[in-house]
Structure 1
Amino acid sequence: MSEYGFEGCELCDSPGGEVVWESALCRVVMVADADYPGFCRVILHRHLGEMTDLPQRERMQVMNVVFAVESAVRSLYRPDKINLASLGNMTPHVHWHLIPRWRDDRHFPQPVWAKPQRLNSPRRSVVDGQQLGDQIIAALRTT
C-alpha cells in the first residue's frame, strides 16, 4: 500500500504537487507550471476511478472543495476563465484539474494539453501555497 492508497497509481504514490490544503477526504495541490500559475488539482485521498463511486455526501464535499479552489484562484490570479476538468484517462483516480486561463496564454483558446498557439505566456505573479490555502479555507467557510 502506498502513502495515499493504491500501489502503482501516480496519485496514490505521491502527493501530485505542493499540498496547500487537505482534509480526510481529499487534498488540493498546486501544479508547478510557469505558464499557468494557480493551476491546481483536487485529489481524492483514496483510490476510486469515478465520481459516482463516491457516496453522494462525499461527491458534494469534493465539489465544494473544487468550487472553493476556483473561488480562491479567481480572487488571487484574476484569470479570464477557469477550466475545470476531470479526465483520468491516464490516471484513473478521482481528481479535478482547475486551470486558470488568460486570452494571451500559450494555448488559448485551445486546451492546455493541445499544441501551443504562441511561444510564451506573459509572466504572471505567483502566489505562495500558504496564501492559496488560506483563500481556500476562507471560501470553504462560505459553503
Structure 2
Amino acid sequence: MFILDSRLEQDTLPIGDFPLCRLLLMNDAQYPWFILVPRREAVSELFQLDAADQQQLWRETTAFAEIVKDSFGADKMNVATLGNVVSQLHMHVIARSRDDAAWPAPVWGRHQPKPYTQDQAAAIRARLKTVLTDQFRFGE
C-alpha cells in the first residue's frame, strides 16, 4: 500500500495523480517546484522499480517537465531524484529563471520557503488544468 512520506506531506500541496506518480507542489512560491512520487510501496531507489515502472516514471517526468517549462517560461529545468533527506523515491521538477531567488545555485537550502497563498496555489492548479492530459486526475 502506498503511503506518502510524512516530510513530503508536510512540505507540499497535493495536485493529483498521473498513472504512476502522485504530483505534489512544493509549498514554496519562490519557484514552480513540483515533485512526482511513484505510488509504490517501500521504494527508495530508481532501480527498485520494475522496468515498466521505470519507463513510466521517465515518461511522466519528461512530459511534465516540458509542460512546466512551457507553462512557466523557465530558462532552465532542474530534474533530479536525490533522497538524502526523504528516502521515499521522488523526482523533483523545478522551473528555474535567471531572476529567481537562488539563481544560478541550487534551490535546496538557499532561502526560507515562502508558502503559497490559497489564491497562488489555486492559480497554479488552474494553469495546470489547461495543459495536463486526460490521463491526469486532479485531487480535491
Which residue in 1 is equivalent to 2:23?
28
Residue 45 (1) aligns with residue 78 (2) = no
Q: Give the distance between the partners of 1:129 and 1:113, measured in 2 at CA.
A: 23
What count of residue pairs does the alignment treat as equivalent?
126
Q: Give the distance between the partners of 1:15 and 1:65, measured in 2 at CA.
A: 23
Residue 39 of structure 1, CA deviation: 1.0
Residues 14 and 24 in structure 2, CA contact (< 8 A), matched pair in contact too: yes
Query: Considering only aligned residues, what root-mean-square deviation do their CA atoms show, in Å?
Result: 2.8
Which residue in 1 is equivalent to 2:53?
58
Q: Give the distance between the partners of 2:75 and 2:33, measured in 1 at CA.
A: 14
Residue 107 (1) aligns with residue 102 (2) = yes
Structure 1 counterpart of 2:78, from 67, 80, 83: 83
Which residue in 2 is equivalent to 1:121?
none
% same residue: 25
Q: Give the distance between the partners of 1:82 and 1:31, measured in 2 at CA.
A: 15
Alpha-carbon spacing, 1:133–1:67, altered in 2? closer, same or farther (3 Å): farther
Q: Give the distance between the partners of 2:10 and 2:53, measured in 1 at CA.
A: 20
Residue 65 of structure 1, CA deviation: 0.8
TM-score under structure 1 length normalisation: 0.73
Which residue in 1 is equivalent to 2:89?
94
Who wins on radius of gyration, i.e. which is larger?
A: 1
Structure 2 counterpart of 1:71, from 66, 70, 77: 66
Any unmatched runs of 5+ in structure 1?
117-124
Residue 20 of structure 1, CA deviation: 2.5
Which residue in 1 is equivalent to 2:116?
none
Q: Secondary structure at the match of 1:136?
A: coil
Any unmatched runs of 5+ in structure 2?
112-119
Note the alpha carbon deviations across 1:46-80, whole angstroms, 9 max, x for none: 23010100111100101111112111111210010
Note the alpha carbon deviations across 1:4-48, whole angstroms, 9 max, x for none: 337xx3268x38633323145221111221210x21000111230
